Amino acid sequence: MPRVLDGVAIAAEIKQEVAEEVKLLAVKGIRPGLAAVLVGNDAASEIYVKSKVQSCAELGIFSELITPPGNVTTEEMLALVADLNARDEIDGILIQLPLPTQVDTKALLDAVSPDKDVDGFHPVNAGRLQAGRPALAPCTPAGVIEILKRSGIAISGQHAVVVGRSDIVGKPAAMLLLHNDATVTICHSKTRDLPSITRQADILVAAIGRPGFITPDMVKPGATIIDVGINRITDRAEFDRFFAGDVKREAAFAKRGSVIIGDVHPKAFELSGAYTPVPGGVGKLTIAMLMANTVRAAKMRRGI
Ligand SMILES: NC(=O)c1ccc[n+]([C@@H]2O[C@H](COP(=O)([O-])OP(=O)(O)OC[C@H]3O[C@@H](n4cnc5c(N)ncnc54)[C@H](OP(=O)(O)O)[C@@H]3O)[C@@H](O)[C@H]2O)c1
């Protein structure tokens, strides 16, 4: 039976450690602070930001929620970021994406001070990460590494295959695996004969954004599978293709009319040695790593 890597438990452990660090910093008169910027009324973004602000409160991190209107301009947003960059009580700046189309997202993310870039999206942090310098790494890939390490899964010398090359997941995940001495292959939509490559993986990271894309024929028996994907299924036929006979999911689908699935087919997990479930895997780590990055930013900025 494959081992299920419990993202909920690992995230709770990391949050506990962050709370301890916050207490130690409080003795020195330091309280890490996160500014969360939520533009407009996107329902999903509101839920994400709310849980980030709530996590700050639970861990003793100061947080400030800033909610510019949906018709805000790039100039107004740049002025807001400049203000947050300058404020000493703010250690981390989080701009919830996506932004309305009239706002130049790239210009805005580039305007965040790299030292307060707790999402790890700034090119300076991407460069620092690549160069192996102290950097604020993107939260989801950092979470992938934490899951592997805290589950006692060896990375050094293993062949890690990352499917997906986005700037926020695939590329930084590959870089972090490389720095942990894995042999890394990065695959993408132009990769030829993908299954022949994924079948070589000791550690297979799926960050594609396609429901159940990794099928059993793409997995080496005993491999560790890290499923980063979060996809919502609403179609009955598609549901049956993945989850026919799964009583728990059937009940969830009947209740909500949708279920979440990762980028890995449930049958592929059965071949693995260990895997992260969806939900309850990598997704749970992202906020925990945001909290960890905020404390890290507070310490780095003060030379601690
Ligand atoms: N908190 C979390 O757990 C978290 C955070 C972020 C993202 N996610 C999830 O992770 C998944 C990936 O997110 P993302 O932002 O990295 O997505 P993305 O920017 O859309 O990137 C997807 C990557 O998958 C590759 N790809 C697409 N179709 C492929 C195919 N047929 N064969 C091989 N590669 C293919 C693309 O290749 P090309 O570059 O060639 O187009 C691209 O590099 C999504 O499901 C997202 O919801 C979860």
Q: State the distance from the centre of ligand 1 to the C-alpha of 97, rounded, in angstroms.
A: 16
**Which residue among 10, 146, 169 has the greatest number of ligand 1 atoms within 8 angstroms of its CB, and so is best to mutate?**
169
Q: Is 60 in the pocket of ligand 1 (CB under 6 A)?
A: no
| Residue 96 among the catalytic residues | yes
| CA-proximal residue: ligand 1, atom 28 (nearest) | 189
Q: Is 214 in the pocket of ligand 1 (CB under 6 A)?
A: no
- Each of the 304 residues of the chain gets a pLDDT tens digit; together they read 999 999 999 999 999 999 999 999 999 999 999 999 999 999 999 999 999 999 999 999 999 999 999 999 999 999 999 999 999 999 999 999 999 999 999 999 999 999 999 999 999 999 999 999 999 999 999 999 999 999 999 999 999 999 999 999 999 999 999 999 999 999 999 999 999 999 999 999 999 999 999 999 999 999 999 999 999 999 999 999 999 999 999 999 999 999 999 999 999 999 999 999 999 999 999 999 999 999 999 999 999 9
pTM value surpassing 0.75: yes
Q: How many CA atoms lie within 13 A of 262 on its CB side?
A: 26
Q: Is 162 in the pocket of ligand 1 (CB under 6 A)?
A: no
Distance (Å, rounded) from C-alpha 228 to C-alpha 282? 6
Q: State the distance from the centre of ligand 1 to the C-alpha of 262, rounded, in angstroms.
A: 11
